[in-house]
Amino acid sequence: MKRVAIIGLGNFGYYLGRELSRQGFDVLGLDIRKDAVQHAKNDIAVTVVADATEKENLLNLGVAEADAAVVTIGTNMLASLLTTFMLKEIGVAKVYAKALSEEHERILKRVGADTILFPEKDMAMSLARRLANPNMLEYLPFIEDHGIFELEAPSDFVGKALRDLDLINRFGIQVLAVRQAVSNTLKFIPKADFVLRTGDTLILLAPNKAMKELNKVAG
């Protein structure tokens, strides 16, 4: 994924756009307020003053070609809902939308948002988890050059035991869990004799480079 459109450059949109730009994404930011655009323009490649509730504006700016769009408009709920609706209508594959309340969240889902972000709730849940589990390695997914990846079991993995795949010795990849297609349950830290079935998803801790290699050889 490369192109991301950020609708609304308030606090949330600005920090998201700045970080994605640093990570090498092609970011388009837009806001109805000139001052918000002014503030973001040195940190985000393309910033535009525009009303995102107007379908024409979204089309003219090429938002339809984005891989994902993030609606960060919060307080103006009508604008948030209209924008989300328009983004799905013009065919944006992945639309993330920010909610400020549970009601807002429910309606966003109804108008087609793929993923809801509820920063206050998400932060509160994450803080509660952190307080309850002080030893949890929150930084794990962000270790440089490593990541946690999902991989649907390629056809030549199916019917094989993890021992036979030997991902750890061949690629330096650790299998953390398997989401089993049959039962839709997560098997954490599966043993070497665990046999993969069609549709199972592997959750892997891996160096980014190793994942690329694995994707090349896995059929």
Interface residues toward ligand ADP, by CB under 6 A: 7-13, 30-33, 36, 51-53, 72-76, 79
Q: Which is nearer to ligand ADP, 74 or 190 (CB)?
A: 74
Q: Would you say 67 and 86 are in contact if contact means Cβ atoms under 8 Å apart?
A: no
Residues whose CB falls within 8 Å of the CB of residue 110, separated by 6 or more in sequence, listed in order: none
Q: Which is nearer to ligand ADP, 21 or 72 (CB)?
A: 72
Q: Which is nearer to ligand ADP, 52 or 196 (CB)?
A: 52
Q: Would you say 148 and 188 are in contact if contact means Cβ atoms under 8 Å apart?
A: no
Supply the minimum distance, in Å, between the C-beta of residue 1 and ligand ADP: 22
C-alpha separations of 119 from 105, 143, 174 in Å: 11, 23, 31
Residues whose CB falls within 8 Å of the CB of residue 85, separated by 6 or more in sequence, listed in order: 111, 112
Supply the minimum distance, in Å, between the C-beta of residue 142 and ligand ADP: 24
Supply the minimum distance, in Å, between the C-beta of residue 16 and ligand ADP: 10
Supply the minimum distance, in Å, between the C-beta of residue 33 and ligand ADP: 4
Integer-rounded Cα Rg, in Å, for the chain is 21
Supply the minimum distance, in Å, between the C-beta of residue 8 and ligand ADP: 3
Q: Give the CA count within 13 Å in the CB-facing half-sphere of 61.
A: 28
| Residue number closest to ligand ADP, CB atom | 10
Q: Which is nearer to ligand ADP, 21 or 53 (CB)?
A: 53
Q: Which is nearer to ligand ADP, 10 or 154 (CB)?
A: 10
